[in-house]
Amino acid sequence: QSVLTQSPSASGTPGQTVTISCSGSSSNIGSNIVNWYQQLPGSAPTLLIYNYNQRPSGVSDRISASKSGTSASLAISGLQSEDEAEYYCASWDDSLNGWVFGEGTKLTVL
Amino acid sequence: QVRLQESGPGLVKPLQTLSLSCSVSGASVNRGNNYWTWIRQPVGKGLEWIGRIYTSGSTNYNPSLKSRVTMSVDMSKNQFSLKLASVTAADTAIYYCARDNYECDRSNCYPRHDYWGQGTLVTVSS
């Protein structure tokens, strides 16, 4: 059972905005940065967002993220079929002294 | 361009030791604000952080695996390694190596796993 909680699935139609949430606690999201990763089928995860809402070069500006208290969220606007993937949140946990990941949210583009 | 590549046996017998290496190119394992990390993913399931090692040799391990995990760095080969002892079927997973890079400004550091290997499937079975 993961320390960070994500909804198992999310969906939207092309052009829509979809939001994926990640819930943690004071020892992780509440006091540390949150990163987001995208995992396309059959591939390794890739960094999507770091330091709450920073995008690495090459990541679309349709991707944004935010944090409030012990929760974080990832938003994908102008949904495209290429966005269909698994999305994971991650944060450092001060109690465990290590990284913790969410369970992952499978995004389906209808 | 930084690249990481895992290598090691794809099949390990129960109670034996799983051993993997990660070769790094485009970056040096003994330079920079980097921790070198292992993450695993049971097929069809989520990501689990195993642990990380710094250039100095200092380590952080997942408490749930700590008693069985050993990580090391070989600067001469520019690679780092994972050993997981006494494996069971529950250790069957895709194992990824990754770079945990700390980008720092004057006030804070912002860690992230910015480069990942392609992953290697390790099956524990007799």
Q: Are B9 and B83 in contact (CB under 8 A)?
A: no
Contacts of A33 in chain B (CB under 8 A): 110-111
Across B55-92, the runs of DSSP E, i.e. the strands, are: 59-61, 69-74, 79-84
State whether A97 and B113 contact (CB < 8 Å). no
The pLDDT, as a whole number, for residue B106 is: 87
Alpha-carbon gap, residue B11 to B25, rounded angstroms = 26
Q: What is the mean pLDDT of chain B?
A: 95
Q: Residue A1 above 70 pLDDT?
A: no
With an 8 Å Cβ cutoff, the interface of chain A facing chain B consists of 2, 33, 35, 37, 43-47, 50-51, 54, 56, 88, 90, 92, 96-104
End-to-end CA distance of chain B: 39
What pLDDT, in 10s, does the model give residues A53-94?
899 999 999 999 999 999 999 999 999 999 999 999 999 999
Phi, psi of B66 (to 5 degrees): -55, -40
End-to-end CA distance of chain A: 29
Q: What would the mean pLDDT of B57-80 be, rounded to a whole number? A: 96
State whether A44 and B111 contact (CB < 8 Å). no
DSSP letter at A56 equals: P
Instruction: Return the structure tokens found at B60.
Output: 């952080």
Rg (CA), chain A: 13
Q: What would the mean pLDDT of B53-67 be, rounded to a whole number? A: 94
What pLDDT, in 10s, does the model give residues B2-18?
999 999 999 999 999 99
Task: For residue B112, give the nearest of A47, A88, A104 by CB distance.
Answer: A47
Q: Residue A2 above 80 pLDDT?
A: no
